[in-house]
Amino acid sequence: MKTTRKGFGLALTFALLAIAGCGGQQVTYEDEEAVETLTEDFGSTDVQMMAEEMIDDMNSHPAIQAFQNETKEGQRLIVLLSKVRNKTSEHIDMRNVMNSIRNGLIRSGRFRFAADKERRQDILDEIEYMESGAVDPKQAKAFGKQVGADVFFSGELTSIDKKRDGKRIIHYKLTLMLESIELAEIVWINEKEIRKKRA
Amino acid sequence: MTTAAGCSTSAANVANVDTESGQSDVLIGDEDLYDDLKIQDIKTRNAETSGFLEVQATLVNLDDDTIRFEYEFEWFDESGFELQSHTEHWNPKIIYGHQRLPIKGTAPDGRAKSFKLAVRRPQEVK
């Protein structure tokens, strides 16, 4: 009986040590600009690489400039973020990818973005409230002054995933496009590909 | 307006180039890397459409072997203050033996007047 109790006591000690060990895992802050290769799945470096290339191309592509000159006398395009599809087998927050690209485009000063469709009702509610008489009329915003988008900004992420003998090669492709709402014409399109390998 | 600039080499691992307002640098950060990688040419211009500063630095692999490296651009305004760019990151890249590889970067906005391009051995977060 004593031996059993002793054995139980030892097992309990090991279990507690194991739990304490888990709790004591070292956590460090890492450079968010560094290349991340913890797994071969879609990661933060892939988002940064895709966003950078798309932002650079959209900021300087002559096709966008030509469309701007022809349809808006050189004025900046007003863009509406539209459908973004994740056609890979992974769970990827495509909104996050597109937000990174939109941030860069707005901050470059080359594009204007209309508010997201999901925000429109909130904006209308606020204008309605402002027109209720509760807000100083000089500061109240009126209906009929919202921007009208020139182009849809949409895209999709696809992947080809191959595995053999524990090795894996995964090829991601992000395709983005700008489509004229009035002309139903694709104004600009670009692809960014990334290939990763797990040896 | 499009402009171009040549480069001068001030040390084995640094090439300098004069841009519109201020001096820009291309820096190979690891000692063992600049024995094999050479900065051959640096071109700068203001993009025709946006006017943003564009840079193209050509690296040459002097070795027979493939080299994996990372590079990162930083951009500065005319006072030398670094411009914030949320997509700034180290780019992983491969250069094959004796290959010439142009690396291109575009400033995040029109305020950029100079840049720093750093090249280093891979330092991945694993």
The confidence score (pLDDT) of residue A21 equals 53
The confidence score (pLDDT) of residue A163 equals 95
3-state percent helix, strand, coil for chain A, nearest multiple of 5? 40, 25, 30
Q: How many helices (H) and strands (E) does chain A have?
A: 5, 5
Residue of A nearest to B74 (CA): A33
Residue of A nearest to B124 (CA): A35
Is B3 inside a domain boundary? no
Residue B42 · residue B57 · CB < 8 Å: yes
Return the CATH number at B87. 2.60.40.3230
Is B35 inside a domain boundary? yes
Q: What is the mean pLDDT of residues B21-49?
A: 85
Q: What is the mean pLDDT of residues B3-11?
A: 55
The tens digit of pLDDT for each residue in B47-100 reads 999 999 999 999 999 999 999 999 999 999 999 999 988 778 999 999 999 999
ipTM for this prediction: 0.86
> Does A150 or B1 have the greater pLDDT score?
A150
pLDDT higher than threshold 50 for residue B119: yes
What is the percent of chain B where pLDDT is above 70?
87
Distance CA A127, CA A133 (A): 11
- A60/B106 touch (CB, cutoff 8 Å), yes or no: yes
The confidence score (pLDDT) of residue B3 equals 47
- B89/A55 touch (CB, cutoff 8 Å), yes or no: no
Which of B50, B54, B126 comes nearest A37 by C-beta?
Answer: B126
Is B112 inside a domain boundary? yes
Is B56 inside a domain boundary? yes
Residue of A nearest to B108 (CA): A108
Domain count of the fold of chain B: 1
Q: Is A192 helix (H, G, I), strand (E, B) or coil?
A: strand
From B124's Cα to the closest Cα of chain A, the distance in A is 5
Is B2 inside a domain boundary? no
Distance CA A53, CA A106 (A): 15
pLDDT higher than threshold 60 for residue B5: no
Is B22 inside a domain boundary? yes
Residues of A in contact with B52 (CB under 8 A): 59-60, 108
The confidence score (pLDDT) of residue B88 equals 87
Which of A32, A59, A64 comes nearest B52 by C-beta?
Answer: A59
Distance CA B55, CA B114 (A): 10
Distance CA A10, CA A35 (A): 44
pLDDT higher than threshold 70 for residue B2: no
Is B101 inside a domain boundary? yes
User: Which tokens is B47 given?
Assistant: 């993009």
Residue of A nearest to B86 (CA): A104
Q: What is the mean pLDDT of chain A?
A: 91
- A35/B85 touch (CB, cutoff 8 Å), yes or no: no
- B86/A110 touch (CB, cutoff 8 Å), yes or no: no
Which residue ranges form the domains of chain A, and what is each CATH number?
A: 42-114+149-198 (3.40.50)
Classify residue A73 as left (phi > 0), alpha (psi -120 to 50) or beta. left
Q: What is the mean pLDDT of chain B?
A: 86
Domain of residue B90 covers 8-120
The confidence score (pLDDT) of residue A8 equals 59
Which of A49, A62, A109 comes nearest B109 by C-beta?
Answer: A109
- Evaluated on CA atoms A19, A23, A25, A30, the torsion sign reads positive
Q: What is the mean pLDDT of residues B37-55?
A: 92
The confidence score (pLDDT) of residue B86 equals 76
The tens digit of pLDDT for each residue in A84-119 reads 999 999 999 999 999 999 999 999 999 999 999 999
From B86's Cα to the closest Cα of chain A, the distance in A is 7
Q: What is the mean pLDDT of residues B8-26?
A: 70
Which of B52, B87, B110 comes nearest A48 by C-beta?
Answer: B87
Which stretches of chain A score pLDDT less than 70? 1-23
- B86/A37 touch (CB, cutoff 8 Å), yes or no: no
Is B1 inside a domain boundary? no
